[in-house]
Amino acid sequence: MILLISLVIGFSVIALFPTFSDAQSEPKTFVTHSGAVVQTSGEIIDPLYAVSTVDFDPMEYLRNFNYGQVSELPDGTVVREFTIIAEDDKIMEVSPGVFYNVWTFNGTVPGPTIRATEGDLLRINFINNGSKEHTMHFHGIHPAEMDGVFEPVGGNGGRFLYEFEAGPVGVHPYHCHVMPLEEHIVHGLYGVFIVDPKEERQPADEMIMVLNGLDTDFDTENNFYAANTIPFYYQHHPIQINTNELIRVYVVNMVEFDPINNFHLHGNLYKYYPTGTDLVPSFYTDMITLSQTERGIMEFEYNYPGKYLFHAHKVEFSEKGWVGIFLVSENSKKNTQELVRGT
């Protein structure tokens, strides 16, 4: 009986096996830069256009602002508490099939976006669960002992409480400041710190873009560039926005090795506020140049729906991942308002 069953199973496996292998060798197609369709009997390796996802979701990061746990001091000062945990042992898929040892604040590169209003008291409980020393160094105004340079926090559970008043208004980076600094930054220990003015900015569809690079083979040259870590992500996952709606992008350049980066927007120009410290824009342009940790705020609105690229106009960077698409849809609500205004 057992013999019979095993025979049946054996034969069915043999009978089914060719079907499996047939399914595998079915020709697949992919589209090239120039739109040509290529057929292959093998596998497709296309991080550019093929829709793919990895561990980290840049779409979720894009509009995710952390305001912390809010409480109030007796004098009315708002206190915002954050817990940030550093780790340095995570292997992350940074582009389809490419695995890289990222060092992270709260498990992601970039770390969480910390957002507060000018004058708020920030309390950041920093826990270092890594194996090396790490710190958090904020750009901005704070006492020397809160600068995260001369107070390295030991690994395997070392702690430090960063406490300072949020300021000045603008968009700033924070990053680990342990030597060798370049190593700690390129592995991913950085994030964005936004300080809002007391009088709120105009409502807008707000997003964060950290321009970064990945040197996956440690030759002090970036193998990948990106907006928000994952190369080409916003190309195969376009960012959906609406016509006639104010878009505000907080841009921070964290690229190492290459002295500059830049940001070019298609079919539009943006108002640019360097470092976001001034409430009056300095430029109206479609191209800004950013040096290391240089950052600012961009504001723009699209009048026409459709697909618009945004990318580094240093084309090497865009062809290695720092490129994306805004997919602009007709904004029915705004249009009605305009119609009302028109009549």
Partner 1 sequence: MELNNTSSKWKVIASGIIPFVFIILMMVYIFGPGADLLDFGVALPEITIEKVDFVDSEIQATVRNTGPIPIEVVMADVNDRIQPAAVEPDRFLERFETTLVRIPFEWNEAEPYTIGITIEDGTRFEKKIEAAAPALELTFDLAIFFAIIGTYVGIIPVMIGLLWLPFIKKISKQKYHFFLALTAGLLLFLAIDSIEEAVEISDESLADSFNGTLLVSTAVVLSFLGLYYSGNKLVKLADSSKLTKPVMIALMISIGIGLHNFGEGLAIGAAVGMGSVAFSTFLIVGFALHNTTEGIAIAAPMSRGKLMLGKLAAMGLIAGSPAIFGAWIGGFVYSPFTSVIFLAIGAGAIFQVIVVILKWIQEESDKNLSSLAVISGFAAGMLVMYLTSILI
What are the residues binding partner 1 (CB under 8 A)? Answer: 28, 30-34, 36, 38, 40-50, 94-100, 214, 216-217, 223, 231-232, 316, 319-321
Q: Judged by CB, which is closer to partner 1: 33, or 198?
A: 33
Closest separation in Å from C-beta 32 to partner 1: 4
**CA 331, CA 317: separation in Å to the nearest integer?**
32
Smallest separation, CB 313 to partner 1 (Å): 15
Contacting residues for 155 by C-beta, under 8 A, at least 6 apart: 88, 128, 129, 130, 131, 132, 133, 134
Shortest Å, Cβ 239 to partner 1: 21
- State in angstroms the smallest separation of the CB of 221 from partner 1: 9
CA distance 207 to 37: 34
Q: Which is nearer to partner 1, 19 or 25 (CB)?
A: 25
Give the neighbor-by-neighbor strand order of the sheet with 239-242. 239-242, 323-329, 306-311, 261-265, 287-290
Q: How far is the CB of 25 from partner 1 (least distance, A)?
A: 8
Torsion of CA 61, 129, 53, 20, to 10 degrees: -160
Please tell me whether the peptide bond between 168 and the residue prior to it is cis, using omega within 30 degrees of 0: yes
Q: Cβ–Cβ contacts within 10 Å for residue 193, how many? A: 25
What separation in angstroms does the CA of 119 have from each of 44, 80, 116, 197, 317?
52, 11, 8, 9, 38
* Closer of 232 and 302 to partner 1 (Cβ): 232
Token reading at 16? 């089914």
Choose between 5 and 36: whose C-beta lies nearer to partner 1. 36
Smallest separation, CB 28 to partner 1 (Å): 8
CB of 30 to partner 1, least distance (A): 6
44/70 with CB nearer partner 1: 44
Nearer to partner 1, 37 or 73 (CB): 37
Q: Is residue 113 within 8 Å of 137, Cβ to Cβ?
A: no
**CA gyration radius for the chain?**
24
Structure tokens at 266: 């298609």
Minimal CA–CA distance to 246: which of 298, 301, 296, 297?
301
Q: Could you please report the per-residue DSSP string of 303-316?
A: SS-EEEEEE-SSHH
The residue among 215 and 299 lying less far from partner 1, judged by its C-beta, is 215
> How does DSSP classify residue 168?
S
Which residue lies nearer to partner 1 by CB, 248 or 320?
320
Shortest separation between residue 251's beta carbon and partner 1, angstroms: 23
